[in-house]
Amino acid sequence: MTVVSIFLEIKLRKKEKNANSWYVETDEGIRIISVQPETPAAKMKLQPGDVILTCNNRVVNSEEEFYQALQLNSAYCHVKVRTYEGDLRIAESAIFMDSPHEIGLILFH
């Protein structure tokens, strides 16, 4: 039982450490702070801590640039994301027509 307790304590400490460090500024892109449920962002499986590098094939380094890029195609979003772990991935989804501001993200630069 002691080994299990130690393992759980180590895992909990690691989780707390990661939870306190993912929100830091980034030199490129914009970091996701929160994803609202049942939104296009949630359907794209975007996660807090991810960094959006491009949107609709445009480099984005601010929230304003991100929403301008979303307006290039009012019904579709294609993003290149660097995960908190450092992996690159592509995510895409239909978005609410004429409402790019309702993608479901809270962002931080």
What is the spatial distance between Cα 78 and Cα 106, in angstroms, rounded to a whole number? 17
Tell me which long-range contacts 57-60 makes (C-beta under 8 A, separation of at least 24): 60/29, 60/30
Q: What's the pTM value of the predicted model, to 2 decimals?
A: 0.74
Maximum CA extent, the chain? 57
Q: What is the pLDDT of residues 32-41, one digit of tens each?
A: 989 999 889 9
Gap between the Cα atoms of 87 and 45, Å rounded: 14
Q: What is the pLDDT of residues 53-77, one digit of tens each?
A: 999 999 999 999 998 998 888 788 9
